[in-house]
Structure formats: structure tokens, C-alpha cells
Amino acid sequence: MTKGQRTRERLLRAAIDRFGADGFRATAVSQLSRDAGLTPAASYAYFADKDAFWEAAISADLDSLDQEIRVAALTSERPLYDLMSMFIAGLERHPLIRRVLKEGTPADLMLVLDHPFFAETTAVIGDRLQRRVESGVLAAGTDVGVLARGIETVLFSMVLSIVRAGMEEDSDRIWSVVTLLRSAAGGPPTEGEILARSATPTSPIRT
């Protein structure tokens, strides 16, 4: 990386740590600058204001959490369950994202929901539903995009409820919701889907 890129990364790391510890309101740009070993004037060359720091920090922290869990979850036998349970467990290592989910405004929550993590999760769900359509489990003409977005929304709402209610250790609740969604999507994998899974091992089809 260039010197400027390294400086920006240092500021971003300081923002993730400080916002995670103290929250948005209790954090000043001057504090972020000191944490990164810069002056406030130098910091403004990289981030226009505190809001810009905040949004970039949330996005970067989500990027990090996504990288930690996505490969392991999507190559598992239960990708939806493992994505959600790993995401929740990962919040212990990412206090900023945990703070946003627990205390964030609607605008803050949309920053999380708009992150590629959830868009990619929706794509996995859509692929799974399309396989069900092709195997006859779901009716021909089913709008898998609408169903996938609905399932994504339910999963995000579940994560949000679990974090805000302090139920992170309640794995049975996570599994129950995923089982419900799987049943609503047409039941367990069919023989045709299992054969498709064997033919395309890199495409997760189980929920």
C-alpha cells in the first residue's frame, strides 16, 4: 500500500476500535486522530467528517467479519444456520458491529443491511430456491428473488432481535427459525437436489 493508504487504514482501525468502545456520540474526530497519531487537520484529508468515519468504520468492520465466516459457512452442510450463528458469535470479536445492532438508529441498521454480506446471502438463498423450482418442490413460476429477499429479511430481523434481547447463546432459537424457513421453502432436499449438489460441489444447496 502507499503511505496514504496506510495512513487511511490506521485511521480506520482507530475508528473501529474507538467507536466500538465508546459509541458515536462519545467519540470526537480529535480523539480518533490522536489514536492514529495524526492531527485532526490531517485526518480530514481522508474523511470529511465524523459521519464519514462512522460509515467507513462500520463497512470495514463488516468486511472483516464477512471474511472470517463466509467461506466456512458456505461450504458447510447448513449454510444458512452457520452463516447466522457464526455472524452472531463473531460479534464478540467485532464490538462496533455489535454496538450498531444493539443501539443503532434505523439509518445505522440500513448500513449493515446494505452491506454485500447480506446481498450475497440472498444470492445463496435464491440459488437454493431455484434448485427447488427445477426439482418440482416449488411451483414453476415461483418468484425466487422475492422469496429470497423475504428470507433474508427474516434472518436479519432474527439476528437483530437476538442481539438486542441478549439471546446470543440461544442456538435452539436460531435453528428453529432456519428450520421454519427451510420448511416454508419446500421441505428437505430432494433426490434431484442432492444429485445436483454432487454435480456442482462448489454451489451450496442445503439450508
Q: Which CATH number goes with the domain that contains 33?
A: 1.10.10.60
pTM over 0.85, yes/no: no
pLDDT of residue 205: 36
Assess if residue 206 is contained within a domain: no
* CA separation, residue 111 to residues 2, 108, 177 (Å): 28, 5, 24
Domain shared by 132 and 102, yes or no: yes
pLDDT of residue 201: 45
Domain shared by 42 and 126, yes or no: no
Number of H helices, E strands in the chain: 11, 0
- Grid coordinates standing for 135? 426439482
**Residue 111 buriedness (CB in 10 A; 0-12 / 13-18 / 19+):** middle
pLDDT of residue 189: 53
Domain shared by 85 and 176, yes or no: yes
pLDDT of residue 202: 43
Residue, of 8 and 197, whose pLDDT is higher: 8
* CA separation, residue 81 to residues 12, 40, 58, 158, 179 (Å): 31, 43, 24, 12, 9
Residue, of 15 and 124, whose pLDDT is higher: 15
Domain shared by 62 and 43, yes or no: no
Assess if residue 161 is contained within a domain: yes
Domain shared by 65 and 39, yes or no: no
Domain shared by 70 and 27, yes or no: no
Segment 32-78, tens digit of pLDDT: 999 999 999 999 999 999 999 999 999 999 999 999 988 787 777 77
CB 103 within 8 A of CB 97: no
Lowest mean pLDDT among 19-33, 73-87, 114-128: 73-87
Residue, of 197 and 160, whose pLDDT is higher: 160
Domain shared by 31 and 60, yes or no: no
Segment 145-195, tens digit of pLDDT: 999 899 888 888 988 998 998 888 788 888 888 787 777 666 655 555 556
**Residue ranges making up the domain that contains 146:** 55-199
CA distance 66 to 134: 30
Domain shared by 42 and 84, yes or no: no
Domain shared by 41 and 69, yes or no: no
- Give the number of C-alpha atoms closer than 13 A to the C-alpha of residue 199, restricted to the C-beta side: 7
Q: How many domains are there within the chain? A: 2
Residue, of 137 and 158, whose pLDDT is higher: 158
CB 152 within 8 A of CB 170: no
Domain shared by 68 and 140, yes or no: yes
